[in-house]
Amino acid sequence: MDREEVFAGLREKMVEEQIAARGVREPRLLQAFREVPRHLFVPGEHAHLAYIDGPLPIGEGQTISQPFIVALMTQLLELEGDETVLEIGTGSGYQAAILARLARQVYSVEQYPALARHATHTLARLGFENVRVFEGDGSLGLPEFAPYRGIVITAAAPKVAQAVLDQLADQAWLVAPVGGRKGQVLQRWQRRGDTFAKEKLIPVAFVPLRGESGWKTRDWAE
């Protein structure tokens, strides 16, 4: 067996044991996880760990999220295929790649230039033409391309900024971890006309959202 076959086998096991077995069963979504080579989104020295049931370091003190969490957050957006989606926190570009398989166009913002460049390169190399990565502070969203039919924030915010909620299309979902270093909960919001409904889902552990509406270093550390 060559290296790619070994990774494909590990990927299938990840889909079955970490994602489908835990209740995320949407066929298009599982297919996306079978097809996107997660080992190419983690640093080379961690490639052999790419399919484990947990997050991994990607540089700049940041992490690629646990596969199940990426799957759950993606499923919660209820994508059908023709949406424009915003991701705040590109990191490795893995979640953006999964979203790109399930929506028409993905915009993703990353604060660290090196991560933004690296993710752009990985996505281009794999032929993802429907993802655009922007470098900068995404804590207030990306109003240029709003409204979005789905928004995912992949870093923990003190709260979901109204400016970001305002970029949701009517009936669309926003999924985000909310809280601090000592405790966060995954939230899902839906725009219903001029009001926003919130659900609280499960406890999670993400790196902090920084920037204008994110955590200040001092407050996160406390």
Nearer to ligand SAH, 40 or 168 (CB): 40
- Minimum Å gap between C-beta 5 and ligand SAH is 24
Q: Specify whether 213 is catalytic.
A: no
Nearer to ligand SAH, 197 or 202 (CB): 202
CA distance 100 to 87: 11
**Interacting residue ranges for ligand SAH, rule: CB under 6 A:** 62-65, 88-89, 91-92, 94-95, 109-112, 115, 137-139, 154-155, 207, 209-211, 214
Nearer to ligand SAH, 123 or 168 (CB): 123
- Minimum Å gap between C-beta 158 and ligand SAH is 12
Active-site annotation holder among 65, 92, 139, 213: 65
Nearer to ligand SAH, 30 or 131 (CB): 131
Nearer to ligand SAH, 151 or 155 (CB): 155
- In total, the chain counts a number of residues equal to 222
Nearest to 130 by CA among 182, 79, 183: 79
Bridge partners of 199, per DSSP, are 188
How far is CA 177 from each of CA 3, 59, 73, 88, 186, rounded to the nearest angstrom?
Answer: 35, 21, 10, 11, 4
- Minimum Å gap between C-beta 124 and ligand SAH is 16
- Minimum Å gap between C-beta 73 and ligand SAH is 9
- Minimum Å gap between C-beta 2 and ligand SAH is 26
- Residues carrying an active site annotation: 65
